[in-house]
């Protein structure tokens, strides 16, 4: 005799309810806040670094180096120099961290003060070096002058000019002397000598032509 078996009933799988998206985001934010709350503050890291904690100083560097560099970069134009100044700032932070007093301000403000002073010092130093280089360059470009030789040349030229003037006629020499040594105009020479202006012009022209020839001036 065969016995009919009833089909087995399979229990349906439990339905997993999805959490609302807002609830999930809230949990992520809460987790981030908890992690942030557990991290030491910049003030705590600086105090620990002042006590000689190198790990705390490394964490302090990671947390603040970008902001310190940004401040320095606004003052120091050259990026390479800005990086050097930033490294100098953190060296000073490590050396002077024991002096930090959180009652007088935040750690980041204290570090910004150090960075600002270092950056200004570098700008002033660079400007001083630039000015010094300009002064040295200008001094080196000066052409050395042999004052003895220069004086001798001037004296010789004066003697040649005086000798050439002696070769002119009295009237020519008088007009040339009044014009080039006395500083008189042609009209003033004509008035002083009581001669026509045309006469003065002729004497000056002839006198200068002869002077050039005597002094060997071709142009």
- Note the pLDDT tens digit of each residue in 146-194: 454 445 555 555 566 677 777 888 888 888 778 766 677 888 888 888 8
* pLDDT score for 209: 81
Output the six-digit token pair for 48: 């620990």
- Note the pLDDT tens digit of each residue in 135-146: 665 455 454 544
3-state SS of 41-67?
CHHHHHHHHHCCCHHHHHHHHHHHHHH
- 198: nearest Cα among 206, 208, 207, 190: 190
SS3 167: coil
- Note the pLDDT tens digit of each residue in 77-95: 888 999 999 999 999 999 9
SS3 137: helix
Q: Where in the chain is the domain with CATH 1.10.1740.10?
A: 39-138
- 61: nearest Cα among 96, 32, 98, 87: 87
**Average pLDDT over every residue of 101-108:** 89
Output the six-digit token pair for 149: 């030789």
Q: Where in the chain is the domain with CATH 1.10.10.10?
A: 149-215
- Note the pLDDT tens digit of each residue in 195-209: 898 888 888 888 788
* pLDDT score for 13: 54
User: CATH fold of 39-138, please?
Assistant: Rna Polymerase Sigma Factor; Chain: A (1.10.1740)
Q: How far apart are CA 69 and CA 84, in angstroms?
A: 10
- 69: nearest Cα among 90, 86, 87: 86
Q: How far apart are CA 78 and CA 69, in angstroms?
A: 12
CATH number of 149-215, picked from 3.50.50.60, 1.10.10.10, 3.40.50.970, 3.20.20.105: 1.10.10.10
Output the six-digit token pair for 68: 């310190």
* pLDDT score for 3: 43
Q: How far apart are CA 84 and CA 72, in angstroms?
A: 10
């Amino acid at each position: 005799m065969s016995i009919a078996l009833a089909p087995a009933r399979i229990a349906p799988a439990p339905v997993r309810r999805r959490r609302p998206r807002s609830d999930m985001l809230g949990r992520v934010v809460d987790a981030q806040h908890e992690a942030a709350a557990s991290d030491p503050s910049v003030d705590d890291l600086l105090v620990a670094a002042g006590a000689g904690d190198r790990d705390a100083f490394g964490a302090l560097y990671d947390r603040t180096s970008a902001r310190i560099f940004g401040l320095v970069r606004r003052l120091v134009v050259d990026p390479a120099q800005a990086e050097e100044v930033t490294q100098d700032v953190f060296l000073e932070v490590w050396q002077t961290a024991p002096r930090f007093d959180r009652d007088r301000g935040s750690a980041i403000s204290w570090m910004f003060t150090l960075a600002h002073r270092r950056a200004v010092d570098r700008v002033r130093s660079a400007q001083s070096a630039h000015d010094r280089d300009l002064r040295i360059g200008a001094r080196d470009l000066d052409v050395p002058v042999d004052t003895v030789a220069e004086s001798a040349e001037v004296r010789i030229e004066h003697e040649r000019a005086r000798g050439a003037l002696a070769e002119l006629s009295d009237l020519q020499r008088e007009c040339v002397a009044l014009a080039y040594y006395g500083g008189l105009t042609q009209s003033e020479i004509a008035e002083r000598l009581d001669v026509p202006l045309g006469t003065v012009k002729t004497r000056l022209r002839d006198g200068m032509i002869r002077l050039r020839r005597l002094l060997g001036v071709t142009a």
